[in-house]
Structure 1
Amino acid sequence: MLWLGSGSAKFARYLAATIIAASFATVASAQTADTILFNGKILTVDKDFSQQEALAIGDGKILATGTSAAMKKLAGDKARLVDLGGRTVIPGLTDGHIHGIRAALTFGTEVNWIGVPTLKDALEKIRAAATAQSPGSWIVVAGGWTEAQFAEKRRPTPSEVAAIAPDNPVYIQHLYDWLLLSPKAMEALNIRDDNDVTPGGKLARDGDNKPTGIIEAGGNALGRIFDKLPKPTMEQQVDGSKKFFREMNTLGITGIVDGGGVSMYPASYQAVFKLWRDKQLTVRVAYHLCSPKPGGELADVQNLTQLLPPGFGDSMLHFNGPGEIIIWADWTDGDITPDGKAKLAEFLRWAASNGYTIQLHWNPDRTVHDLLDVIEGIDKDYPVRDLRWAVLHLYNASEDSLKRMKSLGLIWGVQDGLYFGGERLQKEVGAEQARMMPRIATAMKLGLVVGAGTDAHRVSSYNPFVSLQWYLDGTTIGGTKTRGDEEAPSRRQALEMYTRNSAFMANDDDKRGTLEPGKFADLAVLSADYMTAPVNDIGKIRSVLTMVGGKVVYAAPPFAEGR
């Protein structure tokens, strides 16, 4: 066998080569390993949350876990032995609700403000883009930031943006509520009054009644404006997708459940399909589809799914069902009309009768009874318990709503949106109510499956460790603790949310989500011990070695020199 210490040059060359390699060495038998990870802290996340010292990998799957000595006995003659140096290994993380396919399309061409600490630094990124790009080319920040992250605690002004990028149209989106367009962008999009930013958008005006470039609008209006921007070429979309999924790998992510969403059309999936066909995906993708426009949602999805039976695809990419926008009336986060409720019932009845998994966007709790009424009616004819339907968001879910969800076998997909929006929530409902939101601990006591995710990248960061830290401490990006500890999950529970539970949402829990024999060797070796690191340091954790199906998709020192 080949001995590879964690700092050796041979090991670094091996890891670099295997990033795009088709497979590790052929195993001699079902019980012969081609890779051994030893001298570590293996968090298997099995039903007992057992901890082991080593694991053996063969043909892309976990063969066994146990002591270092026992696992080395399974090594074949050409096996690679990886000394973990005491580091913690977790199952690869699965983001249970993310708009990753959409984010990936423009990841190589957008300006990224995620995690930028000051507005000065953020504006410098705009300046750098304007310097690097030709006059007239678009500069786009499509979300993923909030003013609370900046030391200045404010958003950019139109005059600041115009001064640093006078010759470029600039688009800066804040979540799904606010947009800044530079003068060149306003001109290019021919936006002059409120009629140009429908439905419901409002142009801010100065003292002379001239538009400033600030637009206050919801998701529908912002989506329509975004759709008017020039699209990256297919080559740029594929390149951006590669870069985005590699970025996921640096964070220990090996799988995502993609929610589809605003500005997603059939053509939007071609880049990820190409990576899949070319066997270049480094993240397992379970994707959902929704109607790209209001009106005729059921007919649109029926047309899209004619050749997409439940689960269509393979272990790297598969169709996971309709969602997250079932009908656009339920995406407004307000009251649903009787007509909208009837359309929702028709759609969900069709989905249940065809055995589809569903992801359902829903806020707030005061109207979720409309959704649960519909599902209870359908459940009488088509039991939904085994369909793994998930209600997403619902940050203010009451205990009564959670009990109804449990009785129907629904999953609760909880994202870290309040990491960005906790202060706003406090102002809306008061500190005492906000400290109970979301009721993660209550949901777990009731026995619900609670999945984790980010909803990135327009409304949040895609960093799962930032998300894990927020689940545990309830503290916003601005440093305000808005949720009380009584509704916090334990570290074990939070990790289960991001591994086995999110794999369950992807209908993949029999294949991944834990480090158990027979499952895919999807794993991450961490830069710090998730179980013992100070809570306020969890957001700083990164992967130093990520594997998908036993293949190295990311390696950092000491496992790869020069990375």
Structure 2
Amino acid sequence: MLLPRSGLAKFARYLAAVIVAASSATIASAQTADTILFNGKILTVDRDFSVQQALAIENGRIVATGPSADMKRLAGDKARLVDLGGRTVIPGLTDGHIHGIRAALTFGTEVNWIGVPTLKDALEKIRATAKTQKPGSWIVVAGGWTEEQFAEKRRPIPSEVAAIAPDNPVYIQHLYDWLLLTPKAIEALNIRSDADVTPGGKLELDAADKPTGVINANGNALGKIFDKLPKPTMEQQLDGSKKFFREMNSLGITGIVDGGGVSMYPASYQAVFKLWRDKQLTVRVAYHLCSPKPGSELADVQNLTQLLPPGFGDSMLHFNGPGEILIWADWTDGDITPDGKAKLAEFLRWAASKGYTIQLHWNPDRTVHDLIDVVEDINKDYPVRDLRWTVLHLYNASEDSLKRMKSLGLIWGVQDGLYFGGERLQREVGVDQARLMPRIATAMKLGLTVAGGTDAHRVSSYNPFVSLQWYLDGTTIGGTKTRGDEEAPSRQQALEMYTRNSAFMANDDDKRGTLEPGKFADLAVLSADYLTAPVSDIGKIRSVLTMVGGKVVHAAEPFTELALGPDR
């Protein structure tokens, strides 16, 4: 019996699928796996979001996934068999926009207020640190907290901080808008007037017109003040970097896309480079570079990248392109001047001609048309669709802006900044407008690639599960639900933002981001089931076993014994 043309096409597709499946089974059966994870709920995050019981690993890559019995048959004589006990496994998470290299440099010497529930507890951490520090040594809280997380709902005041650390200069930064300095800190930094904290900063004065120790400032001003603090030694930078990346591993993070940014200079990368050379990195790093100073951005980046072609590096660390701040004079938090637009166009045209991926910080939707106009013009000469250019932040993106971004193949990097600033957003734009910010569901319906991340650690927590929870429920750290459910992604979509989509942003989607045969065995075994746990509990999830390339980089109960093997 002859089949119609449509029937022949369907049969051909079916036959091809059978051949591929048989070929895959033959290849898998010929493999000898060195690690088998079985009796679990493995979220592969493949195109069908299939769920498997087990997976087999050989030489750091996934050989196959499927039923536990089938995967066990692939085990070699000396294979490590890990009973998951029904636990959920996800692809290792990749933070698509984080200032991780910068955070790592000082992680071992800073006081961390991320997730601390009360101001009393936060101040106790200052007190405890002061007891162990030498007089005159700095105590630094570099960000990642907000008063909304504290039960007291207030920020510290200079007098109470000075009282618990009288012999140490103390620096406490709130996001990128506020700074507290104790008297010893003001003296050490020689700050006497607004001229010492400008442009962008203003001293708060008391009734006698003397500085209180509080400085209201923007990111540029705070960055300049932060740069005056004593720098950790290289030994401290290496120690802090190891600790920070292990902290990431405990949260299921196996990769980051680092955005460069404020206070990042060529010397700032030396610690991560050394860990890379010494094969001590436990996260995969895709990093961006920006000019360290305003006025000569393009020339500086052209010079810095002469020996950094697109993709330079290896599977553990590679250069991903310029970003996130391309033109310092127009940091695109407000209106961009004609001169700034011309400089941005020149920079982006050069990046396109070289085939570089870029990340670009842009906040207001009312001006993003200037950026899109520039990209559309460049696209006539240098197609940008395959360059994976990313627009970061842009929480109030309109549907029209998202459509234009989609037409150019731009990626939208959405961080969880409004988890910390949702209440302020409601005051600024009103409750109804805030319900639409950010339009994640709309962007996904349009087919836009939306990638997840945190922008940590100065402006937010680096915890990816906090970010995932916020994507799903739109509720701030203070408990206010600001975004409506109509713009929420599904659980599957949110996980894709932090896995396959962020790996795509890093130009690594052919190597990681899903748990499919041939890809790196980057994965996290979770403390709770991401798909079924109450949304309000997702932020509490941790990894109990994290692997990068099949090597154990983090292990907690009941897998602690795996941390004692040669992989550690």
TM-score normalized with structure 1 length: 0.94
Q: Does the 8 Å contact 1:64/1:71 carry over to 2?
A: yes
Within-5 A mapping of 1:2-41: 31-41=31-41
Q: State the distance in 1 between where 2:42 and 2:211 align.
A: 58
Q: Does the 8 Å contact 1:30/1:58 carry over to 2?
A: no
Give, as a single letter, the amino acid of the residue that structure 1 aligns with 2:53. Answer: E
RMSD, matched Cα: 1.2
Q: CA deviation at 1:166?
A: 1.1
Matched, 1:396 2:396: yes
Give, as a single letter, the amino acid of the residue that structure 2 aligns with 1:438. Answer: P
Greater RCO structure (CA 8 Å; 6+ sep): 1
Q: Does the 8 Å contact 2:552/2:562 carry over to 1?
A: no
Give, as a single letter, the amino acid of the residue that structure 2 aligns with 1:115. Answer: G
Give, as a single letter, the amino acid of the residue that structure 2 aligns with 1:342. Answer: A
Give, as a single letter, the amino acid of the residue that structure 2 aligns with 1:560. Answer: T
Change (3 A) 1:138 1:332: farther
Q: State the distance in 2 between where 1:221 and 1:402 align.
A: 32
Q: State the distance in 2 between where 1:457 and 1:332 align.
A: 21
Q: State the distance in 2 between where 1:154 and 1:252 align.
A: 32
Matched, 1:226 2:226: yes
Q: CA deviation at 1:293?
A: 1.3
Q: CA deviation at 1:31?
A: 1.0
Secondary structure of 1:324's aligned partner: coil
Secondary structure of 2:329's aligned partner: helix
Q: State the distance in 2 between where 1:74 and 1:548 align.
A: 21
Within-5 A mapping of 1:481-500: 481-500=481-500
- Counterpart for residue 284 of structure 1: 284
Q: State the distance in 1 between where 2:554 and 2:363 align.
A: 37
Q: Does the 8 Å contact 1:42/1:54 carry over to 2?
A: yes
Secondary structure of 1:166's aligned partner: coil
Q: State the distance in 1 between where 2:543 and 2:339 align.
A: 48
- Counterpart for residue 23 of structure 2: none
Q: CA deviation at 1:550?
A: 0.3
Q: CA deviation at 1:561?
A: 5.5
- Counterpart for residue 337 of structure 1: 337
Q: State the distance in 2 between where 1:259 and 1:40 align.
A: 35
Within-5 A mapping of 1:345-384: 345-384=345-384
Q: Does the 8 Å contact 1:526/1:542 carry over to 2?
A: yes
Within-5 A mapping of 1:236-315: 236-315=236-315
- Counterpart for residue 552 of structure 2: 552
Change (3 A) 1:208 1:91: same
- For these two proteins, the number of residue pairs brought into alignment is 537
Q: CA deviation at 1:360?
A: 0.4
1:492-545 Cα offsets, whole Å, 9 max, x none, are 000000000000000000000000000000000000000000000000000000
Give, as a single letter, the amino acid of the residue that structure 2 aligns with 1:270. Answer: Q
- Counterpart for residue 19 of structure 1: none
TM-score normalized with structure 2 length: 0.94
Q: CA deviation at 1:562?
A: 11
Within-5 A mapping of 1:53-64: 53-64=53-64
Secondary structure of 1:327's aligned partner: coil
Give, as a single letter, the amino acid of the residue that structure 1 aligns with 2:86. Answer: G
Secondary structure of 1:202's aligned partner: strand
Give, as a single letter, the amino acid of the residue that structure 1 aligns with 2:413. Answer: G
- Counterpart for residue 427 of structure 2: 427
Q: Does the 8 Å contact 1:330/1:361 carry over to 2?
A: no
Give, as a single letter, the amino acid of the residue that structure 2 aligns with 1:266. Answer: P
Give, as a single letter, the amino acid of the residue that structure 1 aligns with 2:118. Answer: T
Q: State the distance in 2 between where 1:352 and 1:44 align.
A: 34
- Counterpart for residue 514 of structure 2: 514
1:283-324 Cα offsets, whole Å, 9 max, x none, are 000000001111100001001000000000000000000000
Matched, 1:195 2:195: yes
Q: State the distance in 2 between where 1:294 and 1:142 align.
A: 23
Q: State the distance in 2 between where 1:183 and 1:332 align.
A: 34
Q: Does the 8 Å contact 1:200/1:218 carry over to 2?
A: yes
Q: CA deviation at 1:331?
A: 1.6
Q: CA deviation at 1:30?
A: 6.4
1:130-154 Cα offsets, whole Å, 9 max, x none, are 1110110000000000000000000
- Counterpart for residue 5 of structure 2: none
Q: State the distance in 2 between where 1:497 and 1:439 align.
A: 14
Q: Does the 8 Å contact 1:144/1:459 carry over to 2?
A: yes
Q: State the distance in 1 between where 2:561 and 2:415 align.
A: 35
The gaps in structure 2 that reach 5 residues or longer are 1-27, 564-568
- Counterpart for residue 161 of structure 1: 161
Change (3 A) 1:458 1:30: farther
Give, as a single letter, the amino acid of the residue that structure 2 aligns with 1:545. Answer: L
Q: State the distance in 1 between where 2:472 and 2:179 align.
A: 32
Q: State the distance in 2 between where 1:34 and 1:397 align.
A: 47
Secondary structure of 1:35's aligned partner: strand
1:14-52 Cα offsets, whole Å, 9 max, x none, are xxxxxxxxxxxxxx9961100000000000000000000
Deviating 4+ runs (over 2 angstroms): none
Question: Aligned residues: percent identity?
Answer: 90
The gaps in structure 1 that reach 5 residues or longer are 1-27
Secondary structure of 1:287's aligned partner: strand
Matched, 1:124 2:142: no
Q: State the distance in 2 between where 1:561 and 1:540 align.
A: 23
- Counterpart for residue 109 of structure 1: 109
- Counterpart for residue 9 of structure 1: none
Secondary structure of 1:331's aligned partner: coil
Q: State the distance in 2 between where 1:463 and 1:199 align.
A: 32
Q: Does the 8 Å contact 1:451/1:497 carry over to 2?
A: yes
Q: State the distance in 1 between where 2:89 and 2:323 align.
A: 32
Give, as a single letter, the amino acid of the residue that structure 1 aligns with 2:517. Answer: P
Secondary structure of 2:558's aligned partner: coil
Q: CA deviation at 1:329?
A: 2.9
Q: CA deviation at 1:200?
A: 2.1
Give, as a single letter, the amino acid of the residue that structure 2 aligns with 1:72. Answer: K
Q: Does the 8 Å contact 1:330/1:362 carry over to 2?
A: no
